[in-house]
Amino acid sequence: MNAGTRFAIGAVLIVGSVGYLMASGVKQTGQYFLTPSELSQKIAVDPSFYNVGMKVGAHVVPGSVTRDVATQTLRFQITDGSARYTVLYHGLPPDTFNDSVEVVVEGRLHKEDGVLYATNVLAKCGSRYEAVPKA
């Protein structure tokens, strides 16, 4: 067996392990990224979507934010215009969070109360590095 063939075997091993790591990585860590209406459609078709880790991107409903700083609990509603969900988040929201931003909420939808229990909240707007255009 010459060096070229041996190298080819080594190369296939490397490429194969990169491929394997990527495939298993996607399988184990991939999360659905849905809008509220996509989520409500999915739930309607397939109830097993409850309690699955996912990300939901939507606008915060203005005026829906209630904070309890002492227990670090944040409750707010998100919507994309049609469907609407209540989010409960325990922890520190990002600086840029307020009731007029777009957020990405990472968490699980509980079947019992229909509330999205968030493990992470990302605010999208402020980190665009641009001021919000004044209306």
Partner 1 sequence: MTILGGVCLWLAFLVGIWGALAGFVGGLQGRPDLQHSARHAVFAMCGALLVAVFSLEWALFQHDFNVEYVAAYTSRNLPIFYTWSALYAGQKGSLLFWATVLSLFGSLALLLTARRHRELLPYVAGVVCTVATFFISVMLFGQANPFHRLAYTPLDGNGLNPQLQNPGMVFHPPMLYLGYISITIPFAFAMAALISKRLDVDWLVAIRKWTLLSWLFLSIGICLGMWWAYVELGWGGYWAWDPVENASLLPWLTMTAFLHSVMIQEKRGMLKKWNLALIIGSWLLSIFGTFITRSGVISSVHSFTQSSVGYFFLFFLIAAAVASFAVYASRLPLLTAEARLESMVSREASFLFNNLLFVGIAFSVLWGTLFPILSELVQGTKVTVGPPFFNQVNIPLGLALLGLTGIGPLIAWRRASLPNLRRQFAVPVTAGVFTVLVLLVGGMRDLYAVMAIGLGGFVTATVVQEFGRGAGARHRQYGEAYPLALGRLLARNRRRYGGYIVHVGIVILFIAFAGMAFKTETEATLRPGEAATLRSPYGWTYRFTHLGVSQYDALNRQVTAAALEIERNGKRLGVLTTEKRQHVDGLGRPTFQPSTEVGIRSDLREDLYVVLAGLVNGTEQAVFRFTINPLVWWVWYGGMIVALGGLIVMWPGGGSPAVKRTQAGYAVRLVEDVKA
CB-nearer residue toward partner 1: 38 or 79: 38
Amino acid identity, position 127: S
CA 81 remoteness from chain centre:
18
Contact residues for partner 1, defined by CB under 8 A: 3-4, 6-7, 10-11, 14-15, 17-18, 21-22, 24-26, 28-34, 38, 55, 57, 69-72, 91-92, 94-98, 104, 122-124, 126-131
CB-nearer residue toward partner 1: 14 or 48: 14
Instruction: Name the minimum Å distance from CB 19 to partner 1.
Output: 9
**Contact assessment for residue 99 and residue 58, using Cβ atoms and an 8 Å cutoff:** no
Task: Indicate the SS3 state at residue 132.
Answer: coil
CB-nearer residue toward partner 1: 58 or 87: 58
Strands 66-68 and 54-60: unpaired
CB-nearer residue toward partner 1: 33 or 113: 33
Phi, psi of 58 (to 5 degrees): -165, 175
CB atoms within 10 A of CB 112: 7
Instruction: Name the minimum Å distance from CB 24 to partner 1.
Output: 7
Q: Measuring CA to CA, how many Å separate 98 from each of 2, 25, 91?
A: 65, 33, 15
